[in-house]
Every structure is written in structure tokens, then in C-alpha cells.
């Protein structure tokens, strides 16, 4: 298992060092902010939704390796998804990192499954996802994991 674990961590650190889709999104029509006071992670998520499809997703913010990698991997995954597919993905991802459901169809997102062993990091991993849900549901209030 140790080799596999090293690989997972490599992917997480890769996305931390070089976050994909990082920066403000011009033309965004959904936006939400999230904050995880436990760790100090902050994220602002921008989405461009057309006819129920997420055409583009970007994020800004600062946080730990887990929260940044999760936001980076999430934005990669959201592009081209319908809103309801994105919300289904939220449920699957949340289930995986909280250990409540087993899923094996999350692709690259599975690198974050290791956080189930670190309950205090689950909020780091899910912050961007809660923010995505808020953006889709157009909740104006900043999201907090507390």
C-alpha cells in the first residue's frame, strides 16, 4: 500500500503547487465563497453555467495542500457537467471522504480518499465542494464549514 499512497500524495502536492483553473473567471454567472476556520482555508469559486451545463469553473483563495488540491481537482471535474451531475458528484465525494459510502468511480478524485483517516482534514477536502453547492444554489452568504 505504501507505493500507492506515495502516488496519491504526489498528485495532491502536484495540484497544490500548480493548481489548475486558478484565478478569477471572466464571465462567471455563479460565485460563492467558502471558509474553513478550523484550518484557515479560504476559497472563492466561479462558475459559468449555460443551459444547465457548467461550461467553466475557476477558483481563487489560499489554503492548505488538501483544500487547494481538492479545489483544483474539483474544477477539472466540473467542466462539461450538468448542474445535477455536479450535485451528485458532491454527494459521492462527500461520502468518500467521510467514509460513509464506498465509491470506485470517482477517477482522479480518489486521491483524496486518504483524508478519511484524518477527520480534521475532511473539512479541508470538502470546503471547495460545499462552496460549489452554494454557487449552484445561488446562496449569497459565505459558506463556512462550521
Residues 107-126 that bind Zn ion (CB under 5 A): 124
Using CB under 5 A as the binding rule, whether residue 65 contacts Zn ion is answered as no
Using CB under 5 A as the binding rule, whether residue 67 contacts Zn ion is answered as yes
* Residue 16 Cβ vs Zn ion, minimum distance, rounded to whole Å: 11
Using CB under 5 A as the binding rule, whether residue 64 contacts Zn ion is answered as yes
- Which of residues 36 and 77 has its CB atom nearest to Zn ion in the complex? 36
- Which of residues 30 and 59 has its CB atom nearest to Zn ion in the complex? 59
- How far apart (Å, rounded) are the C-alpha atoms in residues 128 and 143? 10
Q: Which stretch binds Zn ion (CB under 5 A): 20-28, 58-66, 71-79, 129-137?
A: 58-66
Binding site for Zn ion (CB under 5 A): 39, 41, 64, 67, 124
Amino acid at each position: 500500500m505504501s507505493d500507492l499512497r506515495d502516488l496519491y500524495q504526489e498528485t495532491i502536492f502536484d495540484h497544490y503547487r500548480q493548481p489548475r483553473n486558478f484565478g478569477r473567471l471572466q464571465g462567471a454567472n455563479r460565485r460563492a465563497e467558502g471558509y474553513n476556520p478550523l484550518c484557515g482555508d479560504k476559497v472563492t469559486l466561479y462558475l459559468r453555467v449555460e443551459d444547465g451545463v457548467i461550461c467553466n469553473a475557476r477558483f481563487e483563495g489560499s489554503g492548505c495542500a488538501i483544500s487547494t488540491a481538492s479545489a483544483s481537482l474539483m474544477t477539472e471535474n466540473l467542466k462539461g457537467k450538468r448542474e445535477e451531475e455536479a450535485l451528485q458528484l458532491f454527494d459521492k465525494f462527500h461520502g468518500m471522504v467521510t467514509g460513509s459510502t464506498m465509491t470506485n468511480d470517482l477517477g482522479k478524485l480518489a486521491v483524496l480518499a486518504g483524508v478519511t483517516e484524518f477527520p480534521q482534514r475532511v473539512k479541508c477536502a470538502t470546503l471547495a465542494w460545499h462552496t460549489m453547492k452554494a454557487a449552484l444554489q445561488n446562496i449569497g452568504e459565505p459558506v463556512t464549514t462550521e
